[in-house]
Chain A
Amino acid sequence: MAKPTIIVVGADKGGVGKTTVSRTLLDYFTAHQVPTRAFDSEAPKGTLKRFHPDITEIVDVTSIPDQMRIFDTLSDASVTVIDVRAGLLSPTLRALRDIGFLDAVKKGQFTFLVFHILGSSIASLNEIEDTSQFTTDAKYFLVKNYFNNTTFFEWDQATHANYFKKLKDAVEITIPKLNEMAYEQVEVASVPFLTFVANKGPKNDAANYSFVLRGYVRHWLGNVWAEYDRIKLNDIISATPANPRVQVVR
């Protein structure tokens, strides 16, 4: 039987696409039929919950009662995604260490993944070192979300290497840019990306979204999932045997 998997998605500051990445993960697991639940720490109103209301609860990760809600029920789902409030990635990981969760990971009781959504600032890149002290027994992913025209210092090899080549166990993931209007229409629709591509509404009713925008989202989501396939995400969570690549369909 597969170990429960916990995925923490965090960033040192807001507006870098953290929740967008969480949403693509939830869609990925839905498409692969992996039982998944999510916790949104953007209390009181959670952005993630707006798009995935059926599987998302709003929590305060730093409060003990909510920690119990999350970690005392880990075996109930194959995958638990925790969308951490901006700026609280390191404190959250510290809290996980303090409650003994990281020790449990070290003992092989859980599979632990950290998706660190990077910003285009030196301060954000400095956060990598802070985060890495908690990811010794985790799969640590440095996520470059190209939602604006940032280059993550790729034009400066020395700076780029200083941050991205230091940690040999950290794996880079690239999230390409999504057409702005397509992104905004999904925002307005308040449905998962996959539901938008299928031209469905929040109640799985038929919608009337633009074919062009649905096409842009489908193409983009396919590229994002290709990155998840590249890092063998489905194999890592071990919820199902290694499957052929699942395509984003209409």
Chain B
Amino acid sequence: MQQTPLYIVASPHPRVGKTLLARLLLEFFHSEKRQLLGYDLNPHEPTFAGYFPRWVFTVDIADTRGQMELFDRLIADKPVSTVIDLGYGAFEQFFSVLGEIGFANEARRRGVETVVLFVSDRAPATVRAYGALRRRLANVAFVPVHNESVSVSFDKDDFPLSRPELRTISIPRLSPIVRGVVDRPSFSFATYLVKPASGPTEIHDWVATIFNAFRDLELRLMMGRLTSALGGVSLGPPPLPGRTPRG
């Protein structure tokens, strides 16, 4: 069965570039002319929804109604490429509910593949959170994201890949001036790219690099599904460092 991706952009910390990544992903889908949808789970600061009022809905999952509004809709609606910008405040609640209700398995049954884009940082708590989440949600694809604006170095042992065919995504650092342009509410990456380059092309190169990473990710996800479907080769998660593989 064809699987449509559901990307969850997550980090247990604020100000690591989650919304920027979510924006890029949605604009990538738009540039590929796909049907798309987004959810902003920062009800007190819905920046993601602010950039895309036509495509992104703000949801508060603090109560059961909000959880139903999000997860019931993700299950019931026809699958389209979807991005969730998971505010750090809702991090624990979101994954707790997702695990408890068995969302990933049901989503897969309905043709939706759940992929967590986990934005990394150097804090030990973030490393622990990544490991704990992977153990709790063993059947979900986890893709570490290294935002070079947040941390210069990235230790891949702290954020091991959940599947052998996947790769870490790197978001190169942007210069502060260009970052200021990009952060404007009216700025659209996709629109900028189609304009002839009359000024700095740092944005062009930057977006092209990231969009290529997204294409690579989707190809690798597809490759993983094909390999699994054809050969029955186990694509189970590689064991976390220092722990025995799960049965």
Name A residues whose Cβ lies closer than 8 Å to a Cβ of B. Answer: 179-182, 210-216, 218-219, 250
CB of B95 within 8 A of chain A?
A: no
CB distance from A28 to the nearest CB of B (A): 20
A213 x B100 contact (CB < 8 A):
no
Near A by CB (< 8 A), chain B positions 64-103 give 64-65, 67-68, 71-72, 75-76, 97, 100-103
A215 x B68 contact (CB < 8 A):
no
CB distance from B233 to the nearest CB of A (A): 26
CB distance from A219 to the nearest CB of B (A): 5
Name B residues whose Cβ lies closer than 8 Å to a Cβ of A. Answer: 64-65, 67-68, 71-72, 75-76, 97, 100-103, 106
A210-B68, A214-B101 known, 4 other contacts, Cβ within 8 Å: A181-B64, A182-B64, A213-B68, A219-B101
Q: How far is the CA of A181 from the CA of B66 in the complex (A)?
A: 12
Kindly count the residue-residue contacts between A and B in the assembled complex, taking CB atoms under 8 Å apart.
38
A212 x B64 contact (CB < 8 A):
yes
Contact of A211 among B64, B65, B72 (CB under 8 A): B72
A211 x B100 contact (CB < 8 A):
no
B102 x A218 contact (CB < 8 A):
yes
* Chain B at the A interface: SS class: helix
CB distance from B134 to the nearest CB of A (A): 20
B105 to chain A: closest residue by CB: A250
B75 surroundings in chain A (CB, below 8 A): 211
Q: 18 A-B contacts, Cβ less than 8 Å apart?
A: A179-B64, A180-B64, A181-B65, A181-B68, A210-B72, A211-B71, A211-B75, A212-B97, A212-B101, A213-B64, A215-B100, A215-B101, A215-B102, A215-B103, A216-B100, A219-B101, A219-B102, A250-B106
CB distance from A33 to the nearest CB of B (A): 24
CB distance from A208 to the nearest CB of B (A): 9
Q: How far is the CA of A110 from the CA of B75 in the complex (A)?
A: 48
B106 x A212 contact (CB < 8 A):
no
Q: How far is the CA of A179 from the CA of B67 in the complex (A)?
A: 12
A212 x B71 contact (CB < 8 A):
yes
B69 to chain A: closest residue by CB: A212
Q: How far is the CA of A219 from the CA of B71 in the complex (A)?
A: 16
Q: How far is the CA of A218 from the CA of B101 in the complex (A)?
A: 8
CB distance from B136 to the nearest CB of A (A): 13
Q: How far is the CA of A214 from the CA of B101 in the complex (A)?
A: 7
B106 surroundings in chain A (CB, below 8 A): 211, 215, 250
Q: How far is the CA of A210 from the CA of B100 in the complex (A)?
A: 14
Q: How far is the CA of A182 from the CA of B97 in the complex (A)?
A: 13
Q: How far is the CA of A70 from the CA of B39 in the complex (A)?
A: 56
Contact of B68 among A212, A218, A219 (CB under 8 A): A212
A211 surroundings in chain B (CB, below 8 A): 71-72, 75-76, 101, 106
CB distance from A3 to the nearest CB of B (A): 38
A210 surroundings in chain B (CB, below 8 A): 68, 72
B103 surroundings in chain A (CB, below 8 A): 215
B103 to chain A: closest residue by CB: A215
Q: How far is the CA of A219 from the CA of B64 in the complex (A)?
A: 15
With contacts A211-B106, A212-B64, A212-B67 known, is A219 near B100, CB below 8 A? yes
B65 surroundings in chain A (CB, below 8 A): 181
B75 to chain A: closest residue by CB: A211
Q: How far is the CA of A181 from the CA of B101 in the complex (A)?
A: 14
A212 x B102 contact (CB < 8 A):
no
Question: Which 7 A/B pairs are nearest by Cβ-Cβ distance?
Answer: A215-B101, A181-B64, A211-B75, A212-B68, A219-B100, A212-B71, A210-B68
